[in-house]
Structure 1
Amino acid sequence: MAFTIPEGLHPDLNPLAWMIGTWRGKGRGEYPTIETFEYAHEVVFNHDGRPFMNYYSRSWIIDKDGEIIRPAASEAGFWRVKENNVLEVVISHNTGISEGWVGQFDGPKIQLVMDQGYSAPSAKIVTAGVRLYGLVAGELFFAYDMAAEGQELQAHIWSTLERQSE
């Protein structure tokens, strides 16, 4: 599928224009406090002409045949491009967690580090995180390493997503 710069995109977002759209695929997750799982994943990046991207991600736990078992995580946020290829990202999760992320982009490779987090009284405590987004062979690769519930920073989830036709 040919890629074009989205109409009305704020010039600050040009370096991230490749992300705009809907991406879907599958991934895998693991963590010492949960069972290993597979999931279907959808990520949407869009814009309204202002200097930030809107972000929405949702997922579903799937069985070995790829059939949906139940809804899983969802998160929403905003991505802001700053000088020197810096990104500032805020994300809120359906589980009662909100996070601030800071990172760098280098072409189609983005690495974010959790700057600050907030957990609602009933939510798990996430103490650190690293996110990687990248364009690999035309697909969006995503990985999230997490430190939570007394565990060290380690791999948690990763997925590969294909751009969808709009």
Structure 2
Amino acid sequence: MTSSGDEAIAAAEERAASTRTRNLPVWDDLPIPNDTANLREGPDLNEACLALLPLVGVWRGEGEIDYPTIEDGPRKFAQQLTVAHDGRPFLYHEARSWLLNEDGSILRPAARETGFWRPQADDTLELLLTHSSGVVELYYGKPLNQTSWELGTDAVIRTATAKDVTGAKRLYGLINGDLGYVEERAMVGHELQPHASALLHRVAG
């Protein structure tokens, strides 16, 4: 009889079979280490980032956004999230999203964000994110366990043309090898409330 642990290991090996050889594009003439989203390749992960090791990879999947200001909500979206490193004590973060029609076809490109995870010696996590919408957010948080991380904004900066965002919270966690997250957001006069959630599958790393 196969145990649930054996099944989990087999499932993980099956998932890794299609992702273990994939990584970010490499610049052969770059005189410093390339970013890697595959722990099997490139520089070793810095010890400071070990609490974030499960996040490293390229993830892609679908989710849902909703908010009182969204007409005809909730709306479906898809996203690719890249979490990579170059051997130094931080992780690079890039997320690209696109809205979907009800039938799953692509409607148009949507939100983009880039930033850095900066783990600290006391297990505090700093996450700096810059959004294409003109918002810059500084999150602080901690790992909840080895496979989940919770963060909330300490500061939000906006350009003159950006939406009135005042705060946000995020919870990331691994679910049977996939990466799920939920986001709450306070903006345009509304209190902190659910805004986005998604389940992303590993496609590289």
TM-score (norm 1): 0.95
Going by fraction, where is strand more abundant, 1 or 2?
Answer: 1
Deviation at 1:5, TM superposition (A): 4.4
Q: Unaligned 5+ residue runs, structure 1? A: none
Determine the structure 2 residue equivalent to 1:85: 123
Which amino acid counterpart does residue 62 of structure 2 have in structure 1? Answer: K
Determine the structure 1 residue equivalent to 2:196: 157
The reply on whether 1:39 has 2:77 as its aligned counterpart is yes
CA distance in 1, matches of 2:123, 2:148: 11
CA distance in 1, matches of 2:179, 2:193: 21
- Contact persistence 1:127–1:147 (CA under 8 A): yes
Deviation at 1:152, TM superposition (A): 0.7
Deviation at 1:83, TM superposition (A): 2.3
Determine the structure 1 residue equivalent to 2:100: 62
Which amino acid counterpart does residue 94 of structure 1 have in structure 2? Answer: S
Deviation at 1:91, TM superposition (A): 0.1
Q: Which among 30, 41, 58 is matched to residue 22 of structure 1?
A: 58
CA distance in 2, matches of 1:5, 1:15: 14
Which amino acid counterpart does residue 46 of structure 1 have in structure 2? Answer: A
Larger Rg over CA atoms: 2
The reply on whether 1:101 has 2:139 as its aligned counterpart is yes
Divergent runs of 4+, >2 A:
1-7
Determine the structure 2 residue equivalent to 1:119: 158
CA distance in 2, matches of 1:84, 1:139: 27
Q: Unaligned 5+ residue runs, structure 2? A: 1-14, 21-37
TM-score (norm 2): 0.78
Deviation at 1:137, TM superposition (A): 1.2
- Contact persistence 2:48–2:121 (CA under 8 A): no
Deviation at 1:84, TM superposition (A): 2.9
CA RMSD, 1 decimal: 1.4
Q: Tell me the alpha carbon deviations over residues 70-123 of structure 1, each in whole angstroms, 9 at most, x when there is no partner.
A: 000000000011123210010000000001000011211100000101010000
The sequence identity of aligned pairs, in percent, is 37
